Amino acid sequence: MKRTHHPEDFTTNPFDDDKLHEECGVFGIFGSDDAAKHVVLGLHALQHRGQEAAGITSFDGQQFYTERAMGHVADSFSSQPVIDKLKGFTAIGHVRYSTTGETALRNVQPLFAELSSGGFAVAHNGNLTNAAHMRKQLVRQGSIFQSTSDTEVFIHLIATSTFRTLMDRFIDALRKVEGAYSLVVLTREGMIGARDPLGVRPLVLGKLDDDTHILASETCALDILGADFVRDIEPGEIVTISKSGIKSIKPFPPAKPRPCIFEHVYFSRPDSYLDGMSIYEVRKRIGAELAGESPVEADLVVPVPDSGTPAAIGYAQAAGIPFELGIIRNHYIGRTFIEPADHIRHLGVKLKHNANRWQLDGKRVVLVDDSIVRGTTSVKIVDMVRQAGAREVHMRIASPPTAHSCFYGVDTPERDKLLASRMDVKTMQKHINVDSLAFLTIDGLYRAVNEDKRHAAAPQYCDACFTGEYPTHLTDQDERENADQFTLISLQQN
Amino acid sequence: MKRTHHPEDFTTNPFDDDKLHEECGVFGIFGSDDAAKHVVLGLHALQHRGQEAAGITSFDGQQFYTERAMGHVADSFSSQPVIDKLKGFTAIGHVRYSTTGETALRNVQPLFAELSSGGFAVAHNGNLTNAAHMRKQLVRQGSIFQSTSDTEVFIHLIATSTFRTLMDRFIDALRKVEGAYSLVVLTREGMIGARDPLGVRPLVLGKLDDDTHILASETCALDILGADFVRDIEPGEIVTISKSGIKSIKPFPPAKPRPCIFEHVYFSRPDSYLDGMSIYEVRKRIGAELAGESPVEADLVVPVPDSGTPAAIGYAQAAGIPFELGIIRNHYIGRTFIEPADHIRHLGVKLKHNANRWQLDGKRVVLVDDSIVRGTTSVKIVDMVRQAGAREVHMRIASPPTAHSCFYGVDTPERDKLLASRMDVKTMQKHINVDSLAFLTIDGLYRAVNEDKRHAAAPQYCDACFTGEYPTHLTDQDERENADQFTLISLQQN
Amino acid sequence: MKRTHHPEDFTTNPFDDDKLHEECGVFGIFGSDDAAKHVVLGLHALQHRGQEAAGITSFDGQQFYTERAMGHVADSFSSQPVIDKLKGFTAIGHVRYSTTGETALRNVQPLFAELSSGGFAVAHNGNLTNAAHMRKQLVRQGSIFQSTSDTEVFIHLIATSTFRTLMDRFIDALRKVEGAYSLVVLTREGMIGARDPLGVRPLVLGKLDDDTHILASETCALDILGADFVRDIEPGEIVTISKSGIKSIKPFPPAKPRPCIFEHVYFSRPDSYLDGMSIYEVRKRIGAELAGESPVEADLVVPVPDSGTPAAIGYAQAAGIPFELGIIRNHYIGRTFIEPADHIRHLGVKLKHNANRWQLDGKRVVLVDDSIVRGTTSVKIVDMVRQAGAREVHMRIASPPTAHSCFYGVDTPERDKLLASRMDVKTMQKHINVDSLAFLTIDGLYRAVNEDKRHAAAPQYCDACFTGEYPTHLTDQDERENADQFTLISLQQN
Amino acid sequence: MKRTHHPEDFTTNPFDDDKLHEECGVFGIFGSDDAAKHVVLGLHALQHRGQEAAGITSFDGQQFYTERAMGHVADSFSSQPVIDKLKGFTAIGHVRYSTTGETALRNVQPLFAELSSGGFAVAHNGNLTNAAHMRKQLVRQGSIFQSTSDTEVFIHLIATSTFRTLMDRFIDALRKVEGAYSLVVLTREGMIGARDPLGVRPLVLGKLDDDTHILASETCALDILGADFVRDIEPGEIVTISKSGIKSIKPFPPAKPRPCIFEHVYFSRPDSYLDGMSIYEVRKRIGAELAGESPVEADLVVPVPDSGTPAAIGYAQAAGIPFELGIIRNHYIGRTFIEPADHIRHLGVKLKHNANRWQLDGKRVVLVDDSIVRGTTSVKIVDMVRQAGAREVHMRIASPPTAHSCFYGVDTPERDKLLASRMDVKTMQKHINVDSLAFLTIDGLYRAVNEDKRHAAAPQYCDACFTGEYPTHLTDQDERENADQFTLISLQQN
């Protein structure tokens, strides 16, 4: 389901950082006496993929146990009473990013249902592009939905499938949906991992020892446990982990993978590995490409912290200009503050950042950020840097202009809110008030990401947010545009 | 669903008063600008029918709104923010009695589902005797249950019915269930009231004015609003209240009604009217019958407060013995207290009651209570009265021995926990340690209840708790007894 | 300190029952391994003396432990973690009635201070009439107050006393205050009980066994524990309970006792004994006196529940008219409800009470209540009874007209809010809309209270609320009236 | 008051970062319509100086208002209802670092008292070294303490002073205490700022406009409001800010200032200015000094984030070795997690940090940290870096060995817990398991801090934590060591 959006004016909300946001992270473990505790730690390492809610479902051979809570993993899942409820040798978990309106606890995953085959829990990273369409069909046939989440469509498709075994029903369901999904599932038989045929969202396999396997959105969730990375789950692959070991099937017609390129630009943590590459290293290469494409004479390179930092280091090293923390980040980020009547200039930005005046005063500054979404924060950051005395400000963006919405599980503003869909680069430069502005080219981005694979068939990515080329059908989006008025199917209240 | 039970030892739990408990009360209003506020007040008047949770669903012509909470109506539904969420001109509500284990918020009614015909909310007083049977069938066909409540069976039967209109689907569903139900339903078209063919549980129709109608479990919920009592909803009747007025249908084959006689003995509030009779007056008559059947020479008649009071007044007036408050009730009843190591004699009883020593000392006392369930409290009350110096204690019970479980929406202990199923009256007298013990006869009870209808066809009641004659099939109970092991279908966790 | 008052309009607040309210209850125990648990139970039995907050201080020979909470004893003090914190063989407790504005947790008793002699905790029932005067003096000398409570004056007087031993300092302090106090104190040496020279508020001594003694406001707090009543603490007596036994001193000049007569009329629980008399029995005698003084021809006697019930039984028995529950009380009393826009007639009363129409319809009714304060509730009760069809309503009040404020620890409205200070009986009768209205005479009240002591020196009471004759100086009140504007010394915020 | 300490084993507590902690930050504003909102923002900018509790007191010309809460400023002071309570044109605030045991809400500052001169609120950064001594004296004279905070000593000294005016009493009190204090005070007359004669803790004056002045611990709290820095409050200076402007007095005998040098090393935020110097710049200079004193051949310089970053940049630039983020910080730091039974290697560190394996693998690494306290974290960080494949690890510490406790408002472990008091550098190197270990010399530190003031009288600092030379008496510490057993005066419970 698409989330509604913040109002434009967000001056006092330090959370609204004008970034695209990954909407979910998933994690699962099979074969541990302390399954729930491991999931808690794994989700903590994936917290950057979703901060508004978290949930865990465990299974002890007899019963399923689920706990869900709004807020951070550390706030809700680090007490003994909660852990004690999550019994069992296998457990899966989910962190979620979402806005207030729709963030009822009932939407927090894992979703659970008692099917005729027994309990079934699912955690989903991604977004289906035909969820509304399928839901209407299912309701007409007598299915009753409990949430507004697109993930529930999976469950009803399985419950009403005419196939016999649970695995056949699962595959039957996956074949009916379109869009992006990396799933971690818990059943009486074991844990299942599945990735959509294009592999849009990541999913990796790890292990603590020969009997204890892990599924996770990113490798940083393996590191916190001291677990070993085994391999990526492949696009279109379904992996089953049970007491009889690991089995893998690929029930879909072959397709050319299209993993999300924005994971490299911003979503994934810099200490994670994706497709065998260090995210931190790729971002440094991006910075170096950017320095090559758009050099400038300057006194220092300053990252917009913290997401711009690796690219800024890469830029500084390539350009031979000193890297300095010209903007200092306040680590205690709070909720919305109430502003005084005489509004404080750019308070929203200052709650998180402060100019390091001594460094900036009288200097020519290269400001490096990972991307520009609506541009609201950029305007304020630049103004703050100028107020601190910077003589020139040159902005360098470590990705191409973000001009298109994402329908695959990323929170994007409506298209007309995206700065790059409304302005060309020159106009943006004036709007943001910088002496020069340059974005990395799409070719430069592919070069940085593929540097290690120069030969032959470098992989293609989902780069729809930059190019508008969506690799799947967008059934719901098309139907919505066709309908004069789309009335959201409002589901069970509260 | 049957509830599990308290452990026998409950000395410090003042809530466990060794009574049978009505499990629900329902209320609905159509045609008021302040629908939700009226429902809050109506449910407050019905609080004695269920103290553990409450819920309200409203409809404003566009959308349904539901709020649910554990605890008393007054605690959760008397704040403006809650009321503000429950928009609309019609609303229904529910109070619920239930034990901790199963009292997840998801079981709190009204239950709501978005059917293909639109929103559907239901509040249910009663219990289905084939709920488990139907649920298994529905799950096998792909229905996914959200709660452990028997009430959800109604909703899935409607969602999967092959009839076309909502009313036809509703009737189709009612025809498939067995047991007791008084339902108040909210749909986009209006409010529906329905009572099972035997009319086991009560349901009355009232009105505030010509455009504003009310459905309620008891008339006391009309009084609090200053509303007029119109009539009882008849057994087997379905009433639809909408902007086009009130319509009534009776889609079931004719059946001899069997309303619950225990409503007269204990469940209903003394200020309510049932079948045209004042509950208080019937209880006084019961007391008079008891005085006639089982007289005794004594100095004073003392009620076990407060449920024994009307019968005690009736007994005292008929016998010409002074009525005195020999036991004083503490109005501040709390949750479980933690007892000192040197356990206090009958603390559980003393938390609620204290002997009025001055009245009891040296006296011959007739102690009047409405019923004996497990007998645990009676033992302690009698001991307390004796400690206060009573010379003789004669116990008179305003109903026949309760020897059988109820399956129609009343919380009863397992049969072998019922004192009257384990002992005859003489043994009970010794067990409770009274100088004499007498129960009202079943004939005496019918006489008291039917006094105004001496002629011809006095109504028959459901008196299964006294007689063991159940007026419907007990499918689930039979299947349970047939199965070696019945594994409860455990549904969605948490 | 005097509390501020509710606004006149309280239609939807079922707590505002138009009664005078005792402001506190105190309890202490010395010599029990489970001291705190006993105090919790004792305070529960005294809950009627103060419902808004409770606190307990215990001592284990080394350290003092204090827990305080808003709300009922049962809500806050029945969990193991709280009990576990209150270690020790001796503990004292307090329940408090007070309005929101001043009910900061810091005012909840027992108050505790670390004096140079060691820890000192005090629980106080009563009110000082020179507290503001003394406080000003103490602040001028450098004392810093923590609360707005008059009780804190005791502590600073002891801390700054020039005497040497703690007991001398305590007596020194008591000699400087005027007004009413029953105190229970905890020190390193043991527990102290003290009652002001006039003995306005009650305090009794009980024992669980030879080594375990109890101090309590009423005997009902002994009954719940199965403890024995030993004797009343005498006016002007100070009792010290320690490991070396019980010691008693009387350090004040002899004075004629003036215990509060309203304890008999309303404050104390009917199952308590006061001055050797059963409260229930005295109230029945009051009803009989009332029947003798103000007879009336009628069909039934109906109490305003529950405080009017014993007097109504007494009236009915003396007059030979049947006693009936013509008004039914809802046991689930909630907080303020939000009323519908079309205000419901007398909702405030209906939230607690409902007319028992069958009994009242067409009848001549004697309505018995214990007292009339502002008369607001009486008007509504009578109207409700008339709406239910009563042919005649005769109101009989079991006390003289309440025409004067109390300054000794009872919550009274400002004098001009008292109905009896604004109207004579005839005008009141018209205002309340009854066919006749009669109050008990002050002589009748003294007769009922003293029936067992006809001979010689029947005790005199504090009857200032009826007569305006205050038995102590009212220094603060006098100074307040002398000042043009009295600015309350506002103390520590929050 | 000295805080007690965490147990040694803290593997799963990510808060325990083995750093010294500033215990407080203070802020005040006079002359703003939105005083409270400004204080909230100022405290947010000072959050790094105390994370466990915050409080604000405001004054509106009539009344004082105080709100206090555990937790972060943003969590408790960003809602309108809280702001609405803090009325007035002037307000002061405090953030506090402290452990659970003593962190009762009553200890949260500002402390407030109603003195005979009117309300008096104080926020204190620092620690008195004769607080226990003075408290004993005051209690003996009749003062009753409300908290366990040393700050309350100020208030009682003022309340009991024999001088007449409030300012004379304030000076009288300051003259009686010894130790470190930067105070912000609110009285009916205005706001007061005061700094102890040695100026151990910082305090700056700023202004929003000519009528609106600010006092704050650091300049970063001015930046967030867009306020101008005016000057440091001088050691021994008392500044009064009222409607009649700013007045300054210096009532103490002249003393050579000894500001805390650790503010430069770690406590202050890098974007703050202290004594006219940029903290960030000083830290870079420290890194450069360290590179000069202790060079090493290596592939990359890696900071222990985030406190080691500026020194690492300085080291890298001076040494000509690439600066890389070899350790990645998780921004979502939670409370204690519950560890699996098979304990995870260095989980405590991994909850906050992860090795950036790609950068570290096979490399010679210079690891730069600001200080070593107990050394517990260093051991784990080094092990994590080695596990990630580092070939050599050279640790460089941007300060001298921390070998002595601080008694001036910094949370330090007992002396024997300080690694540098137990081991020499060689032993530490082995303990931490690094290839080389070097600390900055005290001379190097003074050089870095004084670089701009090479000439003449470079200021002296309080460097007791490095040198053991305490610039004031330590009365309490001496008395404690003299007593065989020191029994902490335990004050009011709860």
pLDDT at C425 over 60: yes
Q: Which residue from A minimizes the CA distance to D227?
A: A344
Closest residue on chain C to B39 (Cα): C340
Dihedral (Cα; A66, A67, A70, A76), 10-degree rounding: -150
Report the gap between the CA of D112 and the closest CA in chain A (Å): 25
- Please tell me the distance in Å from D50's CA to the nearest CA on chain A: 11
Interface size between C and D, measured as CB pairs under 8 A:
83
- A partners (3+ CB pairs within 8 A) are B, D
Residue B237 lies in a domain: yes
What is the separation of C-alpha C438 from the centre of its chain, rounded to a whole number of angstroms?
25
Q: Which residue of A has its CA nearest to B85?
A: A494
- The alpha-carbon gap from D161 to the nearest alpha carbon of chain C, in Å, equals 8
- Quick one: closest CA in D to A348, which residue? D224
Q: Tell me what percent of the residues of chain B surpass a pLDDT of 90.
A: 77
Q: Which of A353, A333, A56 is nearest to D333 (CA)?
A: A333
> Which tens digit of pLDDT belongs to each residue from D54-74?
999 999 999 999 999 988 999
Cβ under 8 Å to D: A residues 212-251 = 220, 223-226
What was the pLDDT predicted at D209?
94
Q: Smallest CA–CA separation between C186 and chain D, in Å?
A: 13
- Assess whether D244 and D297 both reside in one domain: no
Q: Which helix (H) or strand (E) holds D310?
A: helix D309-319
Say which CATH number the domain at B418 has.
3.40.50.2020
- Under 8 Å CB-to-CB from C63, ≥6 apart: which residues? C87, C119, D490, D493
Nearest neighbour of C494 by CB, restricted to D66, D113, D145: D66
State residue C335's pLDDT score: 59
Shortest Cα distance from B265 to chain C (angstroms)?
16
- Cβ contact D492–C115 (<8 Å): no
Q: Which of C24, C260, C406, C465 is catalytic?
A: C24
B13 interfaces chain C, CB cutoff of 8 Å:
no
B90 touches chain A (CB under 8 A): no
Task: Look at C328 and B271 and tell me if their CB atoms are within 8 Å.
Answer: yes
The secondary structure of A405-444 as a DSSP string is: ---SSEE---GGGSHHHH--HHHHHHHHT-SEEEEPPHHH
Q: Chain D residues with CB inside 8 Å of C144's CB?
A: 113-115, 143-144, 146, 155-156, 159
The helix, strand and coil proportions of chain D, stated in percent and rounded to the nearest 5, come to 30, 25, 45
Query: What value does the mean pLDDT of chain B take?
Result: 90
Tell me the two tokens of residue C380: 């509504």
Interface residue B7 vs chain C (CB under 8 A): no
> Which range is least confidently modeled, A152-156, B99-103, B407-411, D55-59?
B99-103
Give the pLDDT of residue A492: 38
Distance, CA of D22 to CA of D35 (rounded, Å) = 25
Domain-ending residue, one of C449, C471, C489: C449
Q: Is residue C454 part of a domain?
A: no
What's the CATH number where D159 sits? Answer: 3.60.20.10
Please check whether residue A170 is in contact with residue A192, taking contact to mean a CB–CB distance below 8 angstroms: yes
Q: Within the 308-337 window of chain D, which residues sit less than 8 Å (CB to CB) from chain A?
A: 309-310, 313, 317, 322-325, 328, 330-337
Residue C487 has pLDDT above 90, yes or no: no
Q: Which of B41, B78, B358 sits opposite C335 (nearest CB)?
A: B78
The parent domain of residue D35 ranges over 21-258
Tens digit of pLDDT for each residue in B173-205?
A: 999 999 999 999 999 999 999 999 999 999 999
Which tokens belong to B332?
A: 């501040």
A121 and A235 part of one domain:
yes
Q: In this structure, what token pair is assigned to residue C479?
A: 């100074």
Residues B366-375: pLDDT tens digits? 999 999 999 9
CA dist., res. D96 & res. D27, Å (int):
12
pLDDT at C457: 59
Q: What is the C-alpha to C-alpha distance for residues D41 and D64, in angstroms, rounded to an integer?
A: 20
Residues A235, A119 share a domain = yes
Looking at the structure, tell me whether residues A279 and A159 fall in a common domain: no
Structure tokens at D33: 């319509």
pLDDT band at D23 (very low <50, low <70, confident <90, very high): confident
Strand, helix or coil for residue D121: strand
Chains A and C, touching by 3 or more CB pairs within 8 angstroms: no
Last residue of a domain, one of A227, A257, A287: A257
Using alpha carbons, select from B72, B71, B43, B75 the residue that is nearest to residue B58.
B43
Q: Chain D: residue nearest A334 by CA?
A: D74
Of A38, A323, A344, the CB nearest to D226: A344
Does the pLDDT of residue B53 top 50, yes or no? yes
Q: Does B315 lie in the same domain as B245?
A: no
User: Chain D residue closest to C55 (CA)?
Assistant: D494
For the cut 70, the answer to whether the pLDDT of residue B228 exceeds it is: yes
pLDDT of residue D16: 52
Task: Give B25's pLDDT tier (boundaries 50, 70, 90).
Answer: very high
Phi, psi of C425, rounded to the nearest 5 degrees:
-65, -40
- At D292, which amino acid appears? G
The DSSP 8-state label assigned to residue D233 in this structure reads: P
Kindly report which listed range (A288-292, D105-109, D183-187, D424-428) carries the lowest average pLDDT score: D105-109
Tell me D486's DSSP state: -
Residue C464 has pLDDT above 90, yes or no: yes
Q: Angle of helix D131-140 relative to helix D151-159, nearest 10 degrees?
A: 40
Contact criterion met (CB < 8 Å) for D156 and C144: yes
**Given an 8 Å threshold on Cβ–Cβ distance, is A323 in contact with D328?**
no
Residues B319 and B376 reside in one and the same domain: yes
Boundary (domain end) residue, out of A215, A233, A257: A257
pLDDT mean across residues, chain C? 90
Average pLDDT over residues D221-226: 96
Give chain D's domain count. Answer: 2
**Residues D412, D418: Cα–Cα separation, whole Å:** 9
3-state helix, strand, coil in chain B (%, to 5): 30, 25, 45
Average pLDDT rounded to a whole number, residues D352-379: 96
Q: Kindly list the catalytic residues of D.
A: 24
In this structure, is residue C430 part of a structural domain? yes
Please say whether the beta carbons of B165 and B231 come within 8 A: no
Nearest CB partner across the interface for C280, out of B38, B325, B334: B325
- Confidence band for D45, pLDDT divided at 50, 70 and 90: very high
Show the DSSP H helices in D160-206 as ranges: 166-176
**Amino acid found at A37:** K
Instruction: Answer whether C185's CB lies under 8 Å from C121's CB.
Output: yes
Residue D270 lies in a domain: no
Q: Are C328 and B281 a contacting pair at CB < 8 A?
A: no
> Is residue D4 a part of any domain in this protein?
no
Are A159 and B142 in contact (CB < 8 Å)? Answer: yes
Q: Given the structure tokens 């009141």, which residue do they identify?
A: C428
Name the residue among C115, C140, C146 with its Cβ closest to that of D116. Answer: C140
Identify whether residues D90 and D155 lie together within a single domain: yes
Confidence of residue D430 (pLDDT cuts 50, 70, 90): very high
pLDDT per residue as tens digits for the range C155-184: 999 999 999 999 999 999 999 999 999 999
The yes-or-no verdict on residue D451 having pLDDT over 80 is no
One domain, residues A235 and A325? no
Is residue B388 within 8 A of residue B1, CB to CB? The reply is no
Cβ distance A214 to A205 under 8 Å? yes
Contact flag A33-D341 (C-beta cutoff 8 Å): yes
In a domain, C292, yes or no: yes
Identify the H or E element spanning D353: strand D353-355
Inspect the interface and report whether the beta carbons of D270 and A328 lie closer than 8 Å.
yes
CB nearest C344 (choices: B226, B347, B351) = B226
Q: How far apart are the first and last CA of chain B?
A: 17
Residue type, C227: A
The answer for residues whose C-beta is within 8 angstroms of residue D452's C-beta and 6 or more apart is D276, D277
Q: Give the residues of chain A that fall short of pLDDT 70.
A: 1-17, 98-104, 334-336, 452-458, 483-494
The answer to whether A391 and A31 have CB atoms below 8 angstroms apart is no
The reply to whether A260 belongs to the active site is: no
Q: Are residues A371 and A419 in the same domain?
A: yes
- Which of B208, B219, B344 is most worth mutating to test chain C (most C CB atoms within 10 A of its CB)? B344
Q: Does residue B353 sit within a domain?
A: yes
Q: How far apart are CA A202 and CA A215, in angstroms?
A: 10
In whole angstroms, give the CA distance from residue D375 to residue D425: 12
Residue C156, chain D, CB below 8 Å: the answer is yes
Residues 6+ apart with CB under 8 A from C169: C117, C158, C161, C163
Q: Which residues pair with C294 in a beta bridge?
A: none
pLDDT for res A7: 31
Here the tokens at position A253 are: 């017609």
* Minimal-distance CA residue of chain D relative to A323: D313
| pLDDT score of C58 more than 50 | yes
Q: Does B113 touch chain A (CB under 8 A)?
A: yes
Taking residues D460-486, report their average pLDDT. 85
Q: Are residues D81 and D218 in the same domain?
A: yes
How far is it, in rounded angstroms, from Cα C29 to Cα C184? 10
Non-local CB neighbours of C209 within 8 Å, separated by 6+ positions = none
- Residue D304 belongs to some domain of the structure: yes
Q: What integer pLDDT is reported at residue D452 of this predicted model?
A: 63
Is there a single domain that holds both residue D254 and residue D379? Answer: no
Q: What's the one-letter identity of residue C146?
A: Q
Can you give the pLDDT at residue B486?
40
pLDDT of D3 over the 50 cut: no
In D, minimum Cα distance to C117 occurs at: D140
pLDDT at A8: 29
Q: How far is D92 from chain A (nearest CA, A)?
A: 16
Q: How many CA atoms lie within 13 A of B284 on its CB side?
A: 21
- Between residues D10 and A261, which one has the greater pLDDT? A261
* Residues B189 and B104 both lie in one domain: yes
Confidence at D492, pLDDT banded by 50, 70, 90? very low
Model confidence pTM above 0.95:
no
- Chains touching chain C through at least 3 C-beta pairs below 8 angstroms are B, D
CA distance D58 to chain C (A): 10
Please give the angle made by the CA atoms of C172, C174 and C175, to the nearest 5 degrees: 65
Instruction: Tell me if chain C has a CB within 8 Å of the CB of B355.
Output: yes
- Residues of B annotated as catalytic are 24
Residue B258: pLDDT band with limits 50, 70, 90 = very high
**Which residues 406-465 of D are in CB contact (within 8 Å) with A?**
none
